Amino acid sequence: MAITIAGSGIVSANIADNQNLGIENFVPRGLILSPDTDAYHDIAISVGGVRDVTNTVNMSLAAILTKRIDAAWAVGDNNGGLDGTESSTGTQDASTMYYIWLIKRSDTGVVDALFSESATGPTMPTNYDYKRLIGAVLTDSSANIRVFYQTGNEFLYAQQPSFIDIEDSTMTNNSFETGVLSVPPFSTAHVTILAYNTTGTIYEAVYVQDNRDALGAGGAYTGSSVQLTTTEVVGSGGKISTTVDGSSQIRYAMWENGGGTGYVYVVTRGFTMHTRSSP
């Protein structure tokens, strides 16, 4: 197609459809993940398509593709999906984030998918030379996939009650501490913060921020902290969202106006995965 710049009289050179059109090509169309019949081990990927990470080729599924996390990778629907990054080949690890990659081989055009413990470099099957990260799932202590649902780029854990990533009963007043959340690196974590003090007449506030926010290093009042609550009750809580760093870390702090012992709990509800719509 040709592109004309309005009012300039300039007509660009012809550009093939879906080729070299910039970052918009990275946005997936479809490719929504969902638990399959065996919800603890199988993931179904909906019909859809996207460009590979180098913005070189289109990758698409014309039919739903189901991959198993409890078997080594094999091409095709309802077959294994593990790429070999697991501790024991063909057996998924417990309490581990698995990243789901759409993959393609250029010689035959076959598109498939795999589970990898790497968010940046999966172990590719022979002859597969294109890839794109499209989602992530978390296994629990029994190595089962935590049941989830996806809307767009947002993944929310469906199992109740949710799980606690941070349980801190040794808070130092007005001092940031670091914790790791069960979300992919550089994502936006959606969490519930629970805080309480042993003295019911104490005003308290909890602050949460991205661990990269060095401006907050001096105390809870500095930097771009998010204040959860300030209240005169023994316990309080609320839902917030915050980005995490490359190690899935946040920083959190509690301020209280005197006395008592502060407790902070961070319950992970899910995440928004920005890498689905950017390189």
Question: Mean pLDDT for each consecutive 10-residue tract of the chain (279 residues)?
Answer: 41 38 63 94 96 92 97 98 96 97 97 97 97 95 94 87 82 85 94 76 74 64 50 62 92 74 86 81
Q: pTM of the prediction?
A: 0.83
- The pLDDT score that the predictor gives to residue 64 is 97
- The pLDDT score that the predictor gives to residue 258 is 64
- The pLDDT score that the predictor gives to residue 193 is 84
Structure tokens at 160: 């109740």
- The pLDDT score that the predictor gives to residue 11 is 38
Burial class (CB in 10 A: 0-12, 13-18, 19+), 78: middle
- The pLDDT score that the predictor gives to residue 199 is 65
Nearest CA to 32 out of 182, 189, 154 is that of 154
Exposure on the CB side of residue 157, measured as CA atoms within 13 A: 25
| Chain centroid to CA 182 | 8
- The pLDDT score that the predictor gives to residue 237 is 66
CATH superfamily to which 163-276 belongs: Nucleoplasmin core domain (2.60.120.340)
- The pLDDT score that the predictor gives to residue 254 is 80
Say which residues have a Cβ less than 8 Å from residue 249's Cβ, sequence separation at least 6. Answer: 178, 179, 180, 181, 211
Give the start-to-end residue ranges of the domains of the chain.
26-146, 163-276
